[in-house]
Structure 1
Amino acid sequence: MNLDIKIEEEKDLTYEVFLAGEIDAYTAPKLKDALMPLAEKDNASITVDLNRVNYMDSTGLGVFISILKATKEHNSDLKLVSLQDRVKRLFEITGLDSIILIDSTVQGGN
């Protein structure tokens, strides 16, 4: 499976990232390459929509940890939204849900 990444700049330094597919050892480098330039901007706000991500392994968690570290270094924010249950469970099992802001509600109030 592949990973599709769509990045929209809502307003100055506010980004919405839409992911679809699987995040694993094969696709994680592509995800990191797409997100890191955003995370390294000072005072950016990054929201990653994971609604269409149906699988993620520990490699994907590693990417989000790297992105979180970069956002903290640049006084930026990272938020994950619309996680499917199995992906959200991965963050909960590892305890990463306590250090990464996760909003489990679907965008648009659904």
Structure 2
Amino acid sequence: MNINVQFQKEGQVINGYIKGEIDTYTAPILREELDALEIEKDSLIQLDLSRVSYLDSTGLGIFVAFYKRVVKENARLKLVGLTARLVRLFEITGLSELMDIETNTKVEFNNESI
């Protein structure tokens, strides 16, 4: 039950890299890291979730709260690298309609990647 959060700023873009499980035990760590992030107007925050192996409802709540904060600061949030499983969680909850989500998943059709 570990989580690792790192940020790298490049101009108006802040890239965040999250690795591990996001659950009841690790969500407070993620919340603290996101709360400490300085968000400038018109900036883009991209959170790479490609190395997130598990996400529960507590973690989803963290992302919702962070999304609201980013919008309030007149900035943009983009979630990138989500696995099909994480995409499904965001779809089921309707959050995929609110948030900008980019996946790294490939669609398989007759054993061919599209």
TM-score band (shorter)? Answer: 0.7 to 0.9
Question: 1:50 maps to what in 2?
Answer: 49
Offset at 1:35?
A: 1.3
Opposite residue 10 of structure 1, the aligned amino acid is E
SS in 2 for 1:82: strand
Opposite residue 8 of structure 2, the aligned amino acid is E
Question: 1:85 maps to what in 2?
Answer: 84
- Cα RMSD after superposing both structures: 1.5
The answer as to 2:6 corresponding to 1:6 is yes
Unaligned runs of 5+ in 1: none
Q: TM-score, normalised by structure 2?
A: 0.85
State the percentage of identical aligned residues: 42
2:83–2:104 contact (8 Å) kept in structure 1:
no
Q: Distance in 1 between matches of 2:8 and 2:77?
A: 15
SS in 2 for 1:75: coil
Q: Where does structure 1 differ by over 6 angstroms across 4 or more consecutive aligned residues?
A: none
Offset at 1:90?
A: 0.6
Could you say which structure has the larger radius of gyration?
A: 2
Offset at 1:10?
A: 1.4
Q: Distance in 2 between matches of 1:61 and 1:50?
A: 12
Give the number of the structure whose residues are more often strand, by fraction: 2
How many residues are aligned here? 105
Q: Distance in 2 between matches of 1:10 and 1:63?
A: 24
Q: TM-score, normalised by structure 1?
A: 0.88
Task: Describe the superposition over 1:56-92 as per-residue Cα deviations: whole angstroms up to 9, x where unpaired.
Answer: 0000110010011101111011000000111111101
2:19–2:49 contact (8 Å) kept in structure 1:
yes
